[in-house]
Amino acid sequence: MRERLASALLLVALLTGWEAWCRLGRVPALIVPAPSSVFATLWSEIASGRLLPHLAVTTTEMTLGLALGCAVGLATGVLLAEAPVLRRLLHPYIVASQVVPKLALGPLFIVWFGFGLTPTIVITALICFFPLMENTLTGLSQVDSGRRELFRMLGASRLQTLLRLKLPGALPVILAGFRVAVVLALVGAVVGEFIGGRAGLGASIIAAQSVMDSSLMFALFIVITLLGMAFYQAALLIERLLLRHHLKG
């Protein structure tokens, strides 16, 4: 509780200093708006109902992209860990595909998939794919060799070894990759909306930029931050539940 109280007091101090700097220094609102102006704009967007549809779009893109990217990443990580030949063959190409900036691929995805949710979901999935794939591959590769030998001596099949030894043993590492993917999912959704989104928080930031509404842009930054923190806390809750069940098992 002390740490949380200290964190809250630090936030209040920062906002107070920011407000004083803007008012006493007469900083133009176009450059840096005061917190009071930002929160007033945020409340106006919520009360008018303009914010919720965009928030729903970004949340949907983030959720679907995260689910797709994590599912493919987990399956690919398991496949490469269980098939060393495929790992040596495909892993360099997977890494090479990830170093290409997703922002540069956005226009191409718009050509392929058109405007709307689909290109943003694809970008989000591509960003979420690699952390889970790499952590799954790492976790499965680090399972204790003595336990694997014990399973072999007991006559366990390859599938039984995977399901009852490797995946449970790699679960903490896999979940760490999931936490990273959750954070990157929001980045992917907003970046995708920057490129070709017609709705969503990212598209709203571009619209606010076009009319030089700095207060609205800062208000949207707050919403994006809160959305990301909510998803991250949900990921921590899922991790605690799964690891608690794993330890009991």
153-175 tens-digit pLDDT? 777 777 777 777 788 888 888 99
Question: What are 170-211's pLDDT values in tens digits?
Answer: 888 899 889 999 988 988 888 888 877 778 888 888 888 888
**Count of Cβ atoms closer than 10 Å to residue 183 Cβ:** 16
CB 42 within 8 Å of CB 104: no
H or E element at residue 71:
helix 51-82
CB-facing half-sphere around the CA of 170: CA atoms within 13 A: 26
Candidate ranges 110-114, 125-129, 210-214; pick with highest mean pLDDT: 125-129
Average pLDDT, the chain: 84
Model confidence pTM above 0.85: no
Output the pLDDT for position 108: 77
Q: 234: which 2 tokens?
A: 């949900």
Do 162 and 82 contact (CB within 8 A), yes or no?
yes
Give the pLDDT mean for 92-113: 77
For 90-127, b/e burial (b = at least 16 CB within 10 A) is eeeebeeeeeeebeebbeebbeeeeeebbbbbbbbbbb
Q: How far apart are CA 141 and CA 71, in angstroms?
A: 19
Q: Which residues of 184-193 are buried (b: 16+ CB within 10 A; e: fewer)?
A: bbbbbbbbbb
How far is Cα 142 from Cα 202, in angstroms, rounded to an integer? 39
Of 211 and 125, more confident: 125
Report the b/e string of 59-84 with b at 16+ CB within 10 A.
bebbebbbebbbebbbebbbebbeee
Q: What is the pLDDT of residues 218-233, one digit of tens each?
A: 999 999 999 999 999 9
What tokens does 122 get? 């694809």
| Structure confidence at residue 249 as a pLDDT band (50, 70, 90) | low
- Structure tokens belonging to residue 94: 């997977």
Q: What is the pLDDT of residue 246?
A: 62
How large is the average pLDDT for residues 58-69?
A: 92
Average confidence (pLDDT) over 47-73:
91
Integer Cα distance of 126 and 140 in angstroms: 22
Q: Of 180, 174, 179, which Cα lies nearest the Cα of 162?
A: 174
